[in-house]
Structure 1
């Protein structure tokens, strides 16, 4: 089975908002996800996270953030049988994202800081990735960083 491995950065502000980027879908709205992307040959997960956060949001990652979630999905992307996502919690002040690459070419058309309550109450056409992101973030905030990553 060929899996696409990616990392995502949960950029969380002191007021517990997280930065999400919107990936547009063909005529059906979009999906809000944490910034991140695919692991390239020879990269560690943290190296990939550092590169992706800089490219997509203009964020310079210092240090090694804690790994909080591991997710495997059977949902295929072109050329793969499924996906593996590793999530890292990055505490930061709010900032205005400024991509260093053309994120429009990757289907990203917006950035927004969201609270878990705003996500839970959202009734628009867009989705969140993963679908239960609001609940997972609320649990992370309430329980703190787990001793080992949570699988889902």
Structure 2
């Protein structure tokens, strides 16, 4: 079997004092049309970076958040699906929990720079709004409401929870 080329990324589950989660709106161009995906802020781990270094960089760039401490690693996701991430056979996402007061997200990147990363917006979501969502966009992970509900109600897991697509 040939080696699998996976894109390794880090993501932040950013929860405010009212348990709203901050999600990035990705508009991903595909031959069949643009797909909208709501996902936790974050991005690829560059060569030589640790997971937390990459997370700190991405949060500064995308949402303007600076971390004072190392956040707990709460979820791990591996998706092997050619085409899931351009140029890769799939992705590995490691998610870290950040509790913070509500803030208006605005990172160091310009709107044009964010658009080059396919990021077209940021929005705070209540868990119930995710559960009730019937729009055409997708969530990543697809069942985001379930692990998010568990994280909010049960607190930190003993080890990172494995997520599906």
TM-score range, shorter chain: over 0.9
1:98 aligns with 2:101: no
Structure 1 residue runs without a partner (length 5+):
none
Structure 2 residue runs without a partner (length 5+):
none
| Displacement after TM superposition at 1:78 (Å) | 2.5
> Match for residue 115 of structure 1?
126
CA displacement 1:98-136 (0-9 Å, x = unmatched): 121221111111111001110010111111111100111
CA displacement 1:64-86 (0-9 Å, x = unmatched): 00000000001332222211000
* Runs of 4+ off more than 4 Å: none
1:89 aligns with 2:85: no
Match of 1:41 among 30, 37, 47: 47
1:79 aligns with 2:90: no
Q: Compute the TM-score of the two structures, normalised by the length of structure 1.
A: 0.95
1:125 aligns with 2:131: no
CA displacement 1:1-27 (0-9 Å, x = unmatched): 211100000110011001001001334
- Whether the 8 Å CA contact 1:116–1:137 is kept in 2: the answer is yes
- Whether the 8 Å CA contact 1:23–1:31 is kept in 2: the answer is yes
